[in-house]
Structure 1
Amino acid sequence: MTYITLICAAGLSTSMLMEKMKAYAASHHLDVQIEAMPEGKFENCSRHTDILLLGPQVGYLREDMETRYRPAGMKVAVIDMMDYGMMDGGAVLSKALRLL
Structure 2
Amino acid sequence: MYKIALICEHGASTSLCARKMIEAAEKLGIECSIAAYSDSQLDNIIQDMDCILLGPQLMFKQEQFKQEYPEHAKKITVINAMDYGMMNGEKILKDAIALIEHLK
Q: How high is the TM-score relative to the length of structure 1? A: 0.89
1:8-47 aligned within 5 A:
8-45=8-45
Q: Aligned partner of 1:55: which letter? A: G
Q: Structure 2 vs 1, CA of residues 75 and 46 (structure 1 numbering), >3 Å: closer, same or farther?
A: closer
CA offset at residue 29 of structure 1?
0.7
The C-alpha deviation readout for 1:7-47, integer Å capped at 9, x for no partner, is 01121110000000000001101111101011112223377
Give the aligned residue type for 1:6. L
Tell me the TM-score normalised to structure 2 length: 0.86
User: Partner of 1:68 in structure 2?
Assistant: 68
8 Å Cα contact 1:51-1:96 kept in structure 2: yes
The alignment of Structure 1 onto Structure 2 pairs a total of residues equal to 100
Which is helix-richer, 1 or 2? 2
CA RMSD of the aligned region, Å?
1.8
- Aligned residue for 2:16, secondary structure, equals helix
Work out the CA distance in 1 between the residues paired with 2:19 and 2:49. 17
Residue of structure 2 equivalent to 1:87: 87
- Distance across 1 between alignment mates of 2:70 and 2:22: 24
Moved more, 24-33 or 65-74: 65-74
Deviations 1:41-61 (A, max 9, x none): 222337710100000111111
**1:62 Cα shift?**
1.1
Indicate conservation of the 8 Å contact 1:50/1:74, yes or no.
no
* Structure 2 runs not aligned, ≥5 long: none
- Letter of the 1:84 counterpart: Y
Question: Secondary structure at the residue paired with 1:96?
Answer: helix
Instruction: Give SS of 2:44's match.
Output: coil
